[in-house]
Chain A
Amino acid sequence: MSYNVYNVYMHFPVLAIMTLFVGAFCVTLAGKHEKVRNVIAGCAVLISFTLLALLVKPVMIDGNIITYWMGNWEPVEGYAIGIAIEVDALSLFFGLLITIAVACSCFYSYQYMKQDDARGSYFTLYLMLSGGVLGIVLSGDLFNIYVMLEVMTFAAVGLTAFRTWNPNAREAAFKYLVVGSIGSTCALLGTALVYAQCHTLNLAQISAILPGNLNPTTILAFALLFAGFGCKSFMFPFHPIAADAHGAAPSSVSVLISGVFTKTGVYGIIRVCYFLFRSMGLTSVQTMLVFIGCLSMFVCVTMALNQHDFKRLLAFHSISQIGYILTSLGLCTALGIAGGLYHAINHTLFKGLLFLTAGSVLYATGTTYLEKLGGLARKMPQTTALFLIGAFSISGIPPFNGFYSKWIIYQATFEKAAGGSIGYALVTVVCVVTSVLTLASFIKVGHSVFFGQANPELGNVKDPPLGMRVPMWILATLCVLTGLFPDLMLRYIIGPATAAVLNSVGYIDAAMGAGYAEAHLADPSLLAAPQLISIGAWQPASWLVLFVIVLLAVFLCSLLSRGNSARGLESDAKHAVFFGGERAEYSHISGGDLFWGFKHNLRGYLGFMSRVHTGVTNDYVLWGVTATAVIIAYCFVTM
């Protein structure tokens, strides 16, 4: 039984990565010709996306695993010396969602970045970042992953500081660089330790050799790799830098950092926990992931409620959603993994959309500060509609996509609870509460940016140009579609990816030859793929049909009683807002004033959280180092 497909598909993954890197250099060559630069960047991302999309059939549906040895350096005498590109359904899943976000954001930035200077370097960095991210998820080599991690991190730091006139951006980039290098260092050290133990860097081979070989060195390597990738996914307590970086970077870049960059961390954690060490069978590792996930979820959503800046708020939500993904992956059940992966793709879509709407608001008004905005719905109707789609998706309002993935996560956690530990039922509760708080904070944004009273200082504001709206509508459509057709998603995209997570045997055999896993793994069926069964059914498409029918019926009834809603020639007073009889004046209830009762009751906790997030780099480094130390200690004690 051979998983290799010796045909043209084999070359697609490496081409997808190389196109982006070659594009990055060509963009520089184009020099001052802006149109040429745009065309090159656009072509690069589109080609990359197309190449990966063509792989859906062989990899996702037919279940092949593509292995490509760079320079044809195949394994010799059972040792993989060369660098491999190995694409299973999991890699392709992440590759697809990355390229979708990259493409949308790229087209968005044509218009969006028009007012910036030094645009020459923008697409170079942009394509480097994209290429690095794609390199990580498609690579089959641990050290190669580290190299790509560095490429990605430095490109991201450069892009964060892209608007150098903004002191916040420079500061954020610095913090990012410092805290990010903790993660990189951990990952490198972990890689070195693994290499010392296994004498190989090939993921597949390590996955075969390492799991039966738990000793202090490998435990340390595990903890370091976990912390390293955790840092890249900005999980708690690495999260504060994310807030600064997402907030300061141009919105088109925030999409990448939030929707794409963090996913590489998640991807790395999956590879480390499920493949390299096969440690997800251990309760202690599950507990650690779920615990960190819940903390990220709850802490960041409460921090988000406290924010006064649209993009910072979105940034905290990113981490909160990453928390969902980690929690769900930590359950180590088919349903949990499916929920986590589903949420990963949804998060990329809706968070991308929300960052782009934030970018549009910034583009139109020049600010994202919640207290200065208001009443934009009348002037920017399309942006408002897009924002609402994104907000409903992230808050899990049926039938948008966020609901379905959250619903799977609730089921997965609750089912896990039924297996014995009541603790997992409390995880479900945390998930639901976080979801409500997410809704609350988007009500806050909606009210203080798009609804409420129009700020008279914002004069001539209008919807962004078509070039910016189209990518947003594409993302919005995807949000709705992935919410409406979860069955298709589960069958063709999520299902294969979930199976791939639990199929490390196939992954090993594809690279090292059939039977290699059997020979080396002590218990090959430890994490074998169980059936993906959900404990209920929810058909959003039929729900939507029902909804539309009812809406139509309701409208028909309303036609029977058409009130007089036409504007006559009455005085203006009649249509003015009621102010207890006073003349209407500007009195917008801004975001900071909302949810008083909630904030008042939790003032101790919220105040503590605000005080702790000092914004000082040293503090955040301390958090990061402490967290790494705690993870190492925890792993030594429990593994």
Chain B
Amino acid sequence: MDIMNIDIMDILMYAVYILIFPGLLFTCVFGLWLAGIDRKVVARMQHRKGPPLAQPAYDFLKLLGKECIVPDGAARITFLAAPWLGLASLVVTVLFIPIGGLQAFGTGGDTVVILYLLTIPTLAMILGGSASGSPFAGVGSSRTMVAIMSYELPLILIILAVGKAAGGYGVTFSLGQITLFQYLTAPFILDWRLVPAAIAMLFVIPCEVGQHPFDVGEAETEICEGPLVEYSGAPLAVFKLSHAIKMFVMTALFSALFLGGVTTGMLWLDIVLTLAFCSVVTLVCMSLLHAISARFRVEQLFKFFWTVVSGLALVSLLLVWFC
């Protein structure tokens, strides 16, 4: 994409992509919707009525209206800038993921790039927490980093397995090509060789998002929400929003990797279909796990991901290579 040679219409198009769909506005709204159904479903599974669907949106708006306190011991600039950096990089990440055949920024959609881009929001949280000067945040940052170390190994194995499966005789890192391959054959979730990888991915998603059984870094009952302990007001709101958007990004990534290429022929219907997939994946891997399990300890988390989950992904990689 050449930034220099684009005319007004293109600029408008890009503006729409960046700010409205699938950029800032849409990701925020849809992320909050996913967070909403997650809370509602968990409540229903626990036989409660649960909060209204718009509850995460209320939380977000309320936090915007709260006072923002910067602790005296904090590194002020890093503390205040971290949430915005995280949010911005998440929104940019969305632009690289194909949603129902619509990939806002075409050829750049590479799985390894996304893998690295996805660490930035978490990194922002770690840096922000660490900059706040609280020992709780220090412990939380450390645990969050261990969580990153845990899920990165299975995630790269999954990406390699899918990349090999979609590459035919070669390999590929391109999400566009991966979805195209699925369009030509069948979604990878139906490919028996990739089923273990898909299951592994279902475990990776909540860990990357920081959802319940894997939320060691933000354990609110143990270490006062970890890196977020000193945040209040608008920066906290942005972190909560990022958390919701991450749900969307990760589930959209799952849809692209394993449920890609399902098409009805109409773009808007495809998009709706992808969003439906995202919601379903959220229910399966986040709400279900959240409702039925207790939080992992940090060393259990690491062990679980480097043995069971990585093992599943590795099995897939081997199957793809040799079958």
Contact = CB atoms under 8 A, between A and B. Distances in A.
A425 B145 contact: no
Contacts of B113: 398, 407, 536, 538
A563 B68 contact: yes
Contacts of B148: 436, 439-440
Contact of A396 (B85, B116, B136): B116
10 contacts: A381-B77, A384-B75, A452-B138, A454-B73, A535-B170, A536-B113, A537-B108, A562-B234, A584-B73, A594-B145
Given A433-B152, A589-B135, A597-B298, A397 B71 contact: no
Contacts of B298: 596-597
B173 interface: yes
Which of B71, B88, B123, B174 has the most chain A CB atoms inside 10 A of its CB? Answer: B88
Given A433-B153, A453-B73, A593-B142, A578 B18 contact: no
Contact of B72 (A384, A575, A593, A596): A575
Interface string A565-602: 10100001011111110001001110001111110110
Interface in B270-323: 297-303, 306, 317-318, 321-322
A432 B72 contact: no
A437 interface: yes
B91 interface: yes
A436 B152 contact: yes
Given A542-B105, A589-B142, 5 more contacts: A397-B116, A417-B171, A422-B317, A551-B88, A577-B133
A65 to B, nearest CB: 34
A398 B73 contact: no
B164 to A, nearest CB: 7
Given A377-B78, A575-B72, A601-B302, A418 B170 contact: yes
B23 interface: yes
Given A425-B317, A443-B130, A547 B173 contact: no
A550 B23 contact: yes
Contacts of A594: 138, 141-142, 145
A72 interface: no
Contact of B75 (A377, A535, A551): A377
| Chain A: number of interface residues, binned into ranges | 35 or more
B18 to A, nearest CB: 6
Contacts of B112: 407, 410-411
A542 B1 contact: yes
Given A429-B157, A536-B174, A554-B84, A440 B71 contact: no
B172 A535 contact: yes
Contact of A550 (B18, B64, B126, B163): B18
Contacts of B163: 414
Contacts of B267: none
Given A545-B3, A558-B234, A572-B72, A538 B110 contact: yes
A549 interface: yes
A436 B152 CA distance: 7
A600 B302 CA distance: 10
A450 interface: yes
Contact of B92 (A450, A453, A543): A543
- Find the residue from A381, A542, A564, A578 having the highest chain B CB count within 10 A: A578
Nearest to B76: A378
Contact of A575 (B69, B95, B172): B69
B230 A577 contact: yes
A536 B149 contact: no
A397 B148 CA distance: 14
A396 B146 CA distance: 18
Most buried by A among B115, B152, B170, B317: B152
A276 B274 CA distance: 56
A340 to B, nearest CB: 17
B172 A543 contact: no
Given A414-B160, A577-B133, A564 B116 contact: no
B60 to A, nearest CB: 10
